[in-house]
Amino acid sequence: MNLVAETIELPPVFTLTEFAVKNRDAMIRISQATQKVGTVVDQAQAVSDGRTIQTHIKAVQETRLALSRPLDEAKDKLIEVERVYLAPLIAERNRLAREVTAFQKQEQDRVAAEERARQDEINRLEQERLAAKALLAEAHPTELAQAQEVLSEAMQAQRAVIVAPLPEATRAKGAVGRTVLKYEVTDIHALYQARPDLCRIEAKASAIAAVCTAGMNIPGLKLWEESTTNFRRS
C-alpha cells in the first residue's frame, strides 16, 4: 500500500572504496612485521601500530555513525508516521475485539445457564419416571394400562430432553478467541520462597564491577583479575 507520498531510495548494496581497502591492508601488513614482542623496541612498535589501528577503527565507526544517522532519523520518522496512522485503527480494532469478547462471554453464560436448566429438567423428569414406575408396580390390575401409559410418557419426555441438541455458543467466524493468563507480582520475596522456578536471578555486572575486588569472599561468586591491553588513539 502507499503509506507515504515521498519516494525512499537506497542503493542495493554498500561497497567499500578501493582506498579504504588498501589503507586497511597496509596497516595490517605493517603491524604484522612485529610477530612477537620480545624487546622494548618491539613493544614500542607494537604500541605504535596498535594505536594507529585503534585510531582508524574509531574513525571508521564514527564515519559509519555519521552515514547511518540520516537513515536512523528517517526510520524514526517512518515509525512515527506508522504510529500516528495506525493509532485510531488499532484503537478501533481493540474496541471491536472487546465487544466480541463481551458477547462471547455472554454466549458462554447463556449456554451454561441452558445446560444447567437442561440437567435440572432431566433430573425432574427422572423423578417423574421413577414415580410412574412405582405407581405401575402398585397399580390395580384395572389401572395397569393407564399406569403403563403414564410411565411410557415419562420415559419419552425424558429421552426427548436427553437427545435434544446441546446448547451451543454462537461462534465469531473470522476471529479467534483465546484465554490469556495475566499476573501481578504482589510479593516477589514470597513468590521466590514458594516457587523459585517462577523467578529469574541474574548477577548485576555493573554492581559487581563497582564494589567487588579480586579475592573477596562472597558465597556463590568467584572473583579474579585478568590483565588486558587497550590502545589509545594516536
First to last CA, the chain: 51
What is the rounded CA–CA span in Å between residue 6 and residue 11? 16
Beta bridge partners of 221: 218
Confidence of residue 172 (pLDDT cuts 50, 70, 90): confident
The pLDDT of residue 41 is: 96
Which stretch of 130-139, 179-188, 205-214 has the lowest confidence by average pLDDT?
Answer: 130-139
Cβ pair 55, 234 in contact under 8 A: yes
Confidence of residue 63 (pLDDT cuts 50, 70, 90): very high
CA angle 73, 89, 100 (to 5 degrees): 145
Average pLDDT over the chain, rounded to whole? 92
Residue 67 clears pLDDT 90, i.e. is over it: yes
The pLDDT of residue 66 is: 95
% pLDDT > 90, the chain = 71
The values of phi and psi at residue 157, to 5°, are -65, -40
C-alpha cell, 73 = 532519523
What is the rounded CA–CA span in Å between residue 52 and residue 63? 16
DSSP per position, 101-112:
HHHHHHHHHHHH
The pLDDT of residue 141 is: 83
DSSP state of 218: B
Q: Give 85's contacts (C-beta < 8 A, 6+ positions apart).
A: 3
Q: pLDDT tens digit string along 74-99? A: 999 999 999 999 999 999 999 999 99
Distance of CA 34 to the CA centre of its chain: 52
Confidence of residue 176 (pLDDT cuts 50, 70, 90): confident
What is the rounded CA–CA span in Å between residue 160 and residue 164? 6
The pLDDT of residue 147 is: 84
CA distances from 122 to 109, 126, 157 (A): 20, 6, 9
The pTM score is 0.67
Q: pLDDT tens digit string along 111-138? A: 999 999 999 999 999 998 898 888 888 8
Mean pLDDT, rounded, for 188-215: 94
Which stretch of 12-26, 105-119, 144-158 has the lowest confidence by average pLDDT?
Answer: 144-158
